[in-house]
Amino acid sequence: MGEKLLKSLSKQSIKHEFYTPVPRGYKVGKTKYIITTGTVISGLGKGIFGSSLAKLLKFKGLNVTQVKMEGYFNIDSGTLNPYRHGEVFVLDDGMECDMDLGSYERYLDQNLNKDNFTTSGQIFTKVLEKERSGGYLGRDVQFIPHVTGEIKSILRQLALKTKADVIVVEVGGTVGDLENSHYLEAMRQLMYEEGKENVCFATLTYVITPASLGEQKSKAAQLGIGKLIELGIQPDIIGCRADAPVTEKVREKISIYSNVPVGNVISLHNVKNIYSIPLMLKEEKTDQVVIDLLGLGERIDKKKERSELMKWRNYVKKVENSKKTITIGITGKYTEIRDSYASITESLNHAGAENGVNVNIKWIETSKIEKGKKDINEELKDVAGIIVPGGFGSRGVEGKIMCVEYARKNKRPYLGLCLGFQMAVLEFARNVCKIKNANSTEFDAKTTEPVIDILPEQKKIEGLGGNMRLGGRYIDIKKGTKAYALYGNQTKIRERFRHRYECNPKYIKKLEKKGLVFSGKAPKVPIMQILELLDHPFFMASQFHPEFTSRPMKPNPLFNNFIKSCLP
């Protein structure tokens, strides 16, 4: 039925209203789709829920991938302020995307690419380019069928490229938002075209507990789900977010109002460890519900599932049974918004689990230190290690440099990330090499000592066509260094970058002469990527972002050894 329907719908002409581009070789039913949506409020954790479900399906031996559909008109997330949208996550191919892609990669333990992330800006650009080139055969271009057709085409192209058994699709935002309405309509059409046996809808809702009443109320959840049903989408699974376990009474109410079996209305209450959520879903048999709905039973490898589940359970126990706690200071400018540093905090959790400790984070606002509103010795006296993360702009920079100096002089473990690499270079240049005016042209375009700079010859060598280095790149590691040892004696590694400024090659010899070791550099060009100090328990910094490649059971070596050095 689905195959014949698709063939008829894909025939575009002036006589027909259909427009559903179908890639050559695409077969209905080979790839199944799980569509995740959110109601009532944003920030429910659709990414974590979808990733947890995807993880369970991958345990079963299924080929799974995920895709995020964002409603904003930006082409990517690169220009978004972290205060507004959280961390910008960078994929290996250089795509700057939503932080949920970080969750996808961490749970699935696989690299994703630009095909796993789309925005309304990307969709509309494709539609307009196709219209300008006459691709719609003179038709008046509309949301239905042309915009929705492009959205469905993206999913089917991804299915062909990945050969996925299952694609978990996250529709960003909340049901009822104007900006994601075209995605929801496209998903309704997808179910119509592919057949109900090939598309499953899972929606998250929010069960409130008003302080004045002291009991859970489901009316907002009912109304939110009702809005979804009005759009022609009948959910198969409902995840109820709440502070405490959702009562059976509330689940029954939601079940009645949504036509969803009560067994498929599950409690997704707050937990301390997000990596326990796959096990919560397993206990609720949510993965089996999906298998039954999508007819995936014959594709399951039960032996692999048992083995993978055991590994994951052991990891979760390791995290939850850690009895020791250490405090790490993160000095930054976005400390009020924790999502701005999501990958860093997760990387610290990965490394903490590996080393048998809980990591408590102390957020340090460096602008207050540099203005003298807070004493640096008081701020840092109780931290076992210090991280200066990435960022752009000059606010709080001098405070960051003060923190680097504190770590160097007091032999406190230090890890610099991207901007933290540049801060370490400037601190060393000023206080050890006595280059008093050492600065970055990012903060002072007229500085007489541009130790950190954008160099034209670097841009020419890299051939970027711009001044931002993005995505995965290879790094040459110097033998005999700490970097060489902690990366398993490898002379070449690959990590991800997102930065504009570099250590000026003119100053490299001066810095090295005084004891700064550049243990990692870009192949064939004088672009420094890792630095370290030999006479220090742990003082390392990377121009790249190691947090983007850290995984739950595979902590990035820089984070792992940083935490190890922080242990009492």
Catalytic residue numbers read 418, 545, 547
The burial of 356, by beta-carbon neighbours within 10 Å (0-12 exposed, 13-18 middle, 19 or more buried), is given as middle
Only one residue has tokens 């380019």, namely 129
CA angle 469, 472, 478 (to 5 degrees): 95
CB 519 within 8 A of CB 478: yes
Q: What 3-state class would DSSP assign to 189?
A: helix
Give me 137's structure tokens: 């055969």
CA-nearest of 403, 390, 468, 500 to 82 is 390
User: 385-388 and 414-417: which strand pairing?
Assistant: parallel
Q: What letter represents residue 352's amino acid?
A: G
No. of H helices and E strands in the chain?
21, 21
Measured CA to CA, the distance from residue 181 to residue 176 in angstroms comes to 7
Give me 413's structure tokens: 């473990």
Measured CA to CA, the distance from residue 146 to residue 299 in angstroms comes to 34
CB 494 within 8 A of CB 542: no
Q: Which one-letter DSSP state was computed for residue 146?
A: I
Q: What 3-state class would DSSP assign to 445?
A: coil
Q: What letter represents residue 287's amino acid?
A: D
Measured CA to CA, the distance from residue 295 to residue 291 in angstroms comes to 6
Q: Which one-letter DSSP state was computed for residue 145?
A: I
Give me 338's structure tokens: 């924790």
* 498, β-bridge pairs: 470
